[in-house]
Every structure is written in structure tokens, then in C-alpha cells.
Amino acid sequence: MKKHLSIPAVMLLATASFAHEAPPVPEPLPLNELLPAFGWDLGNAKITTEKVTDNLHVLFGLGGNIAVSTGKDGVLIVDDQFPQLVPKIKSANEKLDAEQDVDFVINTHWHFDHAEGNLVLGPAGTWIVACKGNPDLLLDIGSENQEASNITPLTAKA
């Protein structure tokens, strides 16, 4: 029986001694270098709309799509893309016969192309809703892209 137990132990030790060497993880790119890698140009970005129902539309721009729900309680969007696109998002909302102001944002996740618009909308009074794991990431969301976006990251409020 001791022979059989030692064989798996030897196999485990042998595989551990030949650890896989992966390529190094690259440093994050600043936003002004990252956007061209995706073929995105914030200055020339166009926001188009598609009607789903009378009070539900989809905005298509750069990065993730944006759901827009309009009603008597205000304007809710799902994801808010980039700070530089917020004026275009508001303009698209206005064309939907919605208020120009965004009252609520739901962030599906913290990626820059889904949540960096928080840097403009949050300080303007928009309520931002995210899942439990997102707040710490969202508070630091602009740190690597701060130079390119010229916007100060949000800070936690007690």
C-alpha cells in the first residue's frame, strides 16, 4: 500500500518542479493608447438609437451598448461608456423625447467602456447603482486613465 501512495506523491512533486512559465502580464495602457487599439475615436464617435418600446431604447456608440428607460420617474440608463461621450448620450436622450438629464445609471460591471461615464454623471447628481463587488473598483476607475480623460476619479462618501 505504501508503494501506491508514494507514486501519486512523486507525480505531484515532478509536475510542481516543472511549473508553466506564462508571458508577463502587460502594464495597463492609458486611455489615449487603449482607444486606438480598439479603433475608437471619442471625438468622432456617433451615438445611434433604436426603439425597443415607447419607453425603452438602445443607444449604440463605442464599447458596450446603453439601455435607456424613460418615464415619469426620470431617465435610467444601463452603462454610461466614457466621460467624453456623456454630452452625446444626453443629446441622444433628448431626441427620444426624454429629459436630457440622466437620473439613474446601472453599471453592469466596472470596465472602462461601461462605467467611466460615472466620472461625469456621479458629480452631476446621477444615482449610480452597481453590484456589491464594483464600488471599490468604481472609486478607482479613473486612476489609470485620469491623464487621458482629464477628470478626477470619484471619491467615497461616508
Could you read off the pLDDT of 53-97 as tens digits, one per residue? 999 999 998 888 999 999 988 999 999 988 999 999 999 988 887
Could you read off the pLDDT of 17-51 as tens digits, one per residue? 555 678 888 887 787 888 888 888 988 999 999 99
* Residues ≥6 apart with Cβ < 8 Å to 110: 130, 134, 137, 138, 141
Q: Which of 71, 149, 75 is nearest to 117 (CA)?
A: 149
Q: How confident is the model at residue 158 (pLDDT cuts 50, 70, 90)?
A: very low
Q: Which residue has the cell 446621477?
A: 126
Rounded to two decimals, the pTM is: 0.68
pLDDT of residue 111: 80
Domains delineated in the chain: 2-149 (3.60.15.10)
